[in-house]
Amino acid sequence: MERILGKIEGEQPGPLVVCVAALHGNEQIGLHAFRNVHSSIINHEIPFKGTLVGIVGNIKAVQCNQRFLDYDLNRAFTEENIRRVNEKQTMDEAEDEELAAIYDIIIRESSNGNYSEKVIADLHATSADKGNFVIVPEGEMNYPLIKSLHLPVVVEMDKYLRGTLASYFQDKGFTAFAFEGGAIGTGSEYQLHTSGLWEILDKVGCISHHDHENEDHYVQQLQSVSQKLPQTVKALYCHKVKTEDQFRMLPGFHNFQKVTKGQHIAMDKDGPIHAPMAGLIFMPLYQRTGEDGFFIVEEVPEFSIISNGRVY
């Protein structure tokens, strides 16, 4: 499997848009969504400004259809880890080579031109229903771009998740975010990621909506999946787990479902686990691998989100 899914270099200058798919090897629909958008632009000769690059995240894990083999790539993007894999002559763990390759491609592409903007969309899927949302790092972000996706926006996850790709490259000057397309294996991830990628390319100016006839369909698709979901939430709590904990969520929970303080929501080897506070359950873990059993978030007014010194 090739690391580069596809690349388009427009005749006119513009932004750099990098799409990373399957950073978790069992979340593969983003690969197909990118290929669809990439091939449509080429086959229909849609005028393009700037550069578009698609990257396969964890090739080894994709080939095994596993989230990861030795460690979670989306917790490994720290200066310490990047330095470690770049200085080593041999790669001891499966994800070392993946981490080094992704870093090298993104840094090389971002150094190749004088881009008007640099964007990274990290395409994911969740193990629970209603998993369509955008997670943005703290600090400066392109809020109009994020809002163009018409999906719930999740903030302050950086307090609980260290080493994400989006956070690392946001610190390098990118507008970077995780784009969750839905529950794994439902098919909705493909439609949502496809629609979202078109919207991203339109919003940053790579293409014009006049040049692709399905613009209204894409917007409607994004809006329809977010009906009755909160617009903006912030993380309040994360329940960390280890393999030896034998953690398991009780069945039936979905993203943004209300829970009450003290509600029985999960089990581990020590017995029942209760919600420590009232709020909305977020990313409940319904797969064997993962370090985060569940989060609790709360809805916040949009105007409380601060971006680049401005309040929205």
Domains contained in the chain, CATH given: 4-225 (3.40.630.10), 232-302 (2.40.50)
The CA angle 99-138-116, to the nearest 5 degrees, is: 75
The Cα 129–Cα 186 span in angstroms is 9
The pLDDT score that the predictor gives to residue 210 is: 60
d(CA 126, CA 286): 9
Quote the crossing angle between the two packed helices 188-204 and 215-225, to the nearest 10°.
120
Query: Tell me, what's the pLDDT at 249?
Result: 97
- 72's CB contacts (< 8 A; 6+ apart) are 24, 95, 289, 290, 291
The continuous run of DSSP H or E covering 105 comes out as helix 94-110
CB atoms within 10 A of CB 246: 11
Q: Identify the three-state secondary structure at position 133.
A: strand
CA distance 112 to 114: 7
Q: Report pLDDT for 164.
A: 96
| Structure-block tokens of residue 145 | 């771009």
Max alpha carbon distance in the chain (Å)?
Answer: 61
Extract the tokens encoding 182: 């839905």
Q: Report pTM.
A: 0.92
Q: Which pLDDT value is given to residue 305?
A: 56
pLDDT at 260: 98
- How high is the pLDDT of residue 211? 64
Q: What tokens were used for 14?
A: 């513009």
In angstroms, the CA 107 to CA 96 distance is 17
Cβ-based neighbours of 220, under 8 Å, separated by 6 or more: none
DSSP letters along 32-60, please? HHHHHHHHHHHHTT---EEEEEEEES-HH
- Token readout for 190 is 């493909």
H or E stretch covering 217: helix 215-225
Q: Along the 312 residues of the chain, how does pLDDT read in single tens digits?
A: 999 999 999 999 999 999 999 999 999 999 999 999 999 999 999 999 999 999 999 999 999 999 999 999 999 999 999 999 988 766 789 999 999 999 999 999 999 888 999 999 999 999 889 889 999 987 655 578 998 899 999 999 999 999 999 999 999 999 999 999 988 877 778 889 999 999 999 999 999 876 666 666 777 888 888 888 999 999 999 999 999 999 999 999 999 999 999 999 999 999 999 999 999 999 999 998 899 999 999 999 865 555 444 444
| Residue-level pLDDT at 63 | 97
